[in-house]
Each structure stands twice: as C-alpha cells, then as structure tokens.
C-alpha cells in the first residue's frame, strides 16, 4: 500500500486514507495516533481523513478495510474493490499479484476505460457506529 501511495501520488493522484471506525470500536484512532501510524508505516497518502460517523464510508458503501475506490477528476467512481487478487495479509504474497488499483489507475491516466471497474474487496469489516 505504501509503495502504491508513493508511486501514484508522485504521478499526481490524490490519495486519501479514510478511517471510518467509530469511537470505541476496533480501528478507531485519534488524529495524533493516525499521524504516528503513518510515520511508522512510512505511508504517503495525500491525507488521512477521520470519518468516525461513517459518512464517507457509507457514501461509498465501504465494507472492509481496505476497500479501494478510484474517483476520476470529474467525480465519477471508476473502480471499487480489492487492492489485488491475493486476499492474504502475508506481504510475501504481494509479489506476482494482479494489482487492481494500479491497473485501474494506469488505464485512467492513459485515458482508457478501466477494464475491471469492480472486484470484491477483502479484509476486516469496517466498524461503523450504529
């Protein structure tokens, strides 16, 4: 994820990390905790957006973390789903994976339609406030 963030933000993509966990729920962080985490992970999103009420997450029907969304400059959702085709937390599995996000961004930046605009996201569930 961090390598993708660096690669695509360097190409002009605006990359938001949205954290929709409610206070007291798994995944909830304060602004200071998120800043510390981003530094520790050497992450490079354009910004991290804290969404404790779940308004942004629900707007895009995010169900897992990560759940990836690509929105074109006109505001149209052009990709929704998994980061890649290897639903595992093992980083050694990343090698050789089909990275759906990178493929979609490459197509969009080249002016082409996204070949696979939807895939099934995988990961832990987003812990929304009821």
For residue 18, tell me if it sits in a domain: yes
* CA angle in degrees (0–180, nearest 5) for 80-84-86: 135
What is d(CA 120, CA 57) in angstroms, rounded to the nearest whole number? 16
For residue 43, tell me if it sits in a domain: yes
For residue 130, tell me if it sits in a domain: no
For residue 46, tell me if it sits in a domain: yes
pLDDT digits 0-9 by tens, 86-119? 988 777 888 889 999 999 999 999 999 999 999 9
pTM of the entire predicted model:
0.91
Backbone φ and ψ of 75, nearest 5°: 90, 10
pLDDT digits 0-9 by tens, 36-83? 999 999 999 999 999 999 999 999 999 999 999 999 999 999 999 999
Instruction: Identify each DSSP E strand in 4-85 by its residue range.
Output: 16-19, 47-50, 64-65, 68-71, 77-81
* Token output for 11: 């190409």
């Amino acid at each position: 994820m961090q390598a993708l963030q660096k690669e695509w933000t360097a190409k002009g993509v605006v990359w938001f990390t949205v954290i929709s966990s409610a206070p007291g729920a798994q995944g909830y962080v304060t602004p200071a905790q998120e800043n510390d985490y981003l530094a520790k992970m050497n992450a490079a999103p354009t910004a991290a957006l804290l969404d404790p009420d779940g308004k942004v997450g629900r707007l895009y029907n995010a169900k897992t973390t990560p759940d990836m969304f690509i929105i074109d400059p006109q505001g149209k959702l052009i990709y929704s789903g998994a980061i890649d085709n290897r639903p595992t937390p093992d980083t050694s599995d990343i090698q050789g994976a089909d990275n759906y996000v990178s493929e979609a961004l490459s197509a969009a930046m080249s002016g082409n339609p996204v070949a696979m605009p939807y895939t099934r996201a995988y990961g832990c569930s987003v812990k929304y406030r009821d």
